[in-house]
Amino acid sequence: MELNATRLALVRHGQTDWNLHDLLQGSSDIPLNDTGRAQAREAAQLLSDVRWDRIVTSPLVRAVETARIIAGECAVSDIEIDDALVERDYGGAEGITREEATARWGQDWPGEESYEHLMVRAVRAVDAVAQRYPGENLVLATHGTFIRAFTDAVVGAATIKPDNAHSVRFLGAPGAWRVTAGLNLV
């Protein structure tokens, strides 16, 4: 590993009932279902090749539960909640499908956070975590669109659509990240 480089695994939470029914969750606080818990255990198995120093998680219950399952399986005792890792806010579209939202409002959904804003916010959030824990191995339990936005900002193109409990790994430091594994190209 590069001297003083931080290793990151950004992990999308496991499945929820809203995922199962293709409902937009965003900042709505929806718990994992049984499939999501099993997916989190599978994600932990894939992460077990590294000794992780800590897990930092979004405050939303689906991410926190995913983080706790991974922590238990990977023997990580330090879990921190970070509000900045929260998912994109879909405003009035939360709780309905993307198709329903588009039929109702077109491309501009009331109260939706712009993707461009999310990209900037995601980079700031991940960089801030890495600045707090330079050179550590960190799991960030977060959300699909958040991970996509961060990866798009780092790679420079729309590159991934992470499945539930999928992880993308990075190595580097704030402002200088490179993807090392987990790109799920769209």
Residue 160 has pLDDT above 50, yes or no: yes
Task: Write down the pLDDT at residue 158.
Answer: 62
Task: Write down the pLDDT at residue 186.
Answer: 44
| Residue 13 bears catalytic tag | yes
Among 65, 73, 80, 87, the one annotated catalytic: 87
| Residue 42 bears catalytic tag | no
The residue ranking higher by pLDDT, 1 or 119, is 119
CA separation for the pair 149, 175 (Å, rounded): 15
Among 13, 94, 113, 166, the one annotated catalytic: 13
Q: Give the model confidence (pLDDT) of 120-134 as tens digits.
A: 999 999 999 999 999
Of the candidates 140, 164, 160, the residue with the CA atom closest to the CA atom of residue 149: 160
Q: Write down the residue that tokens 């969750």 correspond to.
A: 25
Residue burial 152-168, b: 16+ Cβ < 10 Å; e: rest: bbbeeeebbebebbbbb
pTM, to two decimals: 0.94
Q: How many residues belong to the chain?
A: 186
Question: Is residue 59 within 8 Å of 84, Cβ to Cβ?
Answer: no
Percent of all residues in the chain with a pLDDT value above 70, rounded to a whole number: 95
Q: Which residues contact 59 (CB under 8 A, 6 or more apart)?
A: 81, 82, 83, 85, 86
